[in-house]
Amino acid sequence: MDITLELKKRITNQHLTISGSKSETNRLLLLQALYPQLKIENTSNSDDSEVVKNALFTLNESTEINVHHAGTAMRFLTAYFATQENKQTVLTGSSRMKERPISVLVDALLQLGADISYVEEVGFPPLKIIGKKITKNKVTIDANVSSQYITALMLIGSTLPNGIEINLQGNLTSLSYINMTLSVLHSLGLKAAFNDKIIKIPFEKEIKKDVFIVESDWSSASYFYSIIALSAVGTKITLGYFRQNSFQGDSVLPEIYKNFGVQTTFQNAEIILEKTSNVKTQTFNFELNNTPDITQTLIVTCLGLGMTCNISGLHTLKIKETDRLQALKNELEKFGAAVAITNDSIHLKNKVAFSINPVEIETYQDHRMAMAFAPLALKQPLIIKNAEVVSKSYPDFWNDLKALGFCIS
């Protein structure tokens, strides 16, 4: 489904409720399968969370589970099924998933004694997993490719009879997501210590707190930060349910968007975003190794505001839903932008003029390409190709934009 997106009038103060964080939800679903007394509230309605839920809780005659595009599902479920004694599973995914590397995690699980083999290409899904009792507890893993591999080990750690000790090698990437996993474990009363690149988690029979309320998704909130940044001074949106002491790394948004004249007020489990001033700075420099998922949102905000920017720390973007650096370059250039990319950075080098002629945005099966570009409809009409991709993390996205006054046809 391709859509045309325009905004003909000013946004008036609107209230939106965003669904639970997909990252928190997917961690908790896995923990719920391991500790069935756990109750989860405000779960994400994303496709990626549905995939995890079905894999864990729907009785399946077949041994094959397809996780489609969901990276966290692929990685977390690999560790989970490796520990399920007497159960054989083939975990597969979309054609893109079969290009997303998984050998770092598989090698770590093999060190622990797991039985996992590659069904097609070595190093990539699909995987054949024969569940076993895992009694070894020391593992060394490269931390520079994806934090999801480390989270996967952390999620099963407290159910292994001897716990787990994970030694992280090399530079840590997406560290905020490792910290999120630690916070989730701690909030259920599970012990987990992270010091000097070593994570230690002892065996625990039971969790001590059995209700978890998932905070709404800060990555989804980023698109509204961008909309407010591109709006006139005085424009406001209220979003629920968010809190100041979030587990999510993307909760740096209030700090970052101060640079774009957006003020955030925390009030009664909600955030009020308001455009309070026009921006004077011309160039923004960001390091986003810790929060890679807001890269697309930020660079599009800069384009919309007529700023140049340099974003670094992005070596993981090539192995996400698409090669996000190349996809961004392709689409930003359609507006007349000069964009340079390296292995781990992207540079927007000029200011562009917007026009009344629609620009067509390819989305590359990547939800964040569709959602990150959408705010530019404040500047000029857009055609978003395959707009349904948003359901990977935010199925209600287009309805929420309609509620703000965007015209979608």
Ligand X SMILES: O=C(O)C1=C[C@@H](OP(=O)(O)O)[C@@H](O)[C@H](O)C1
Ligand Y SMILES: C=C(OP(=O)(O)O)C(=O)O
295 interacts with, out of ligand X, ligand Y, none, CB within 5 to 8 A per kind = none
Contact 68, 41 (CB under 8 A): no
Our finding on whether 72 is near ligand Y (CB under 6 A) is yes
Among 49, 173, 291, 393, binds ligand Y (CB under 6 A): 393
Sheet with 283-287, side-by-side order of all strands: 283-287, 308-312, 345-348, 339-341
Among the listed ranges 67-75, 169-177, 230-238, 347-355, the one in contact with ligand Y (CB under 6 A) is: 67-75
The least CB distance from residue 23 to ligand Y, in Å, is 8
Among 31, 33, 67, 70, binds ligand Y (CB under 6 A): 70
The least CB distance from residue 73 to ligand Y, in Å, is 7
The least CB distance from residue 309 to ligand Y, in Å, is 20
Our finding on whether 40 is near ligand Y (CB under 6 A) is no
The least CB distance from residue 220 to ligand X, in Å, is 11
| Count of C-beta atoms within a 10 Å radius of residue 312 | 15
Most distant CA atoms of the chain, gap in Å: 64
- Residue 196 designated active-site: no
| CA nearest neighbour of 227 among 347, 390, 21, 379 | 379
Nearer to ligand X, 159 or 248 (CB): 248
The size of the chain, in residues, is 409
| CA nearest neighbour of 250 among 300, 215, 283, 284 | 215
Query: From the candidates 293, 366, 396, 400, which is the catalytic residue?
Result: 293
Our finding on whether 320 is near ligand Y (CB under 6 A) is yes
The 8-class DSSP code of residue 356 comes to S
CA angle in degrees (0–180, nearest 5) for 277-306-394: 80
| Count of C-beta atoms within a 10 Å radius of residue 353 | 9
Using CB under 6 A, count the residues that bind ligand Y. 9
Nearer to ligand Y, 27 or 320 (CB): 320
Distance (Å, whole) CA 49 – CA 44: 6
| Site of interaction with ligand X (CB under 6 A) | 23, 72, 146-148, 151, 173-174, 177, 292-293, 316
Active-site amino acid positions: 293
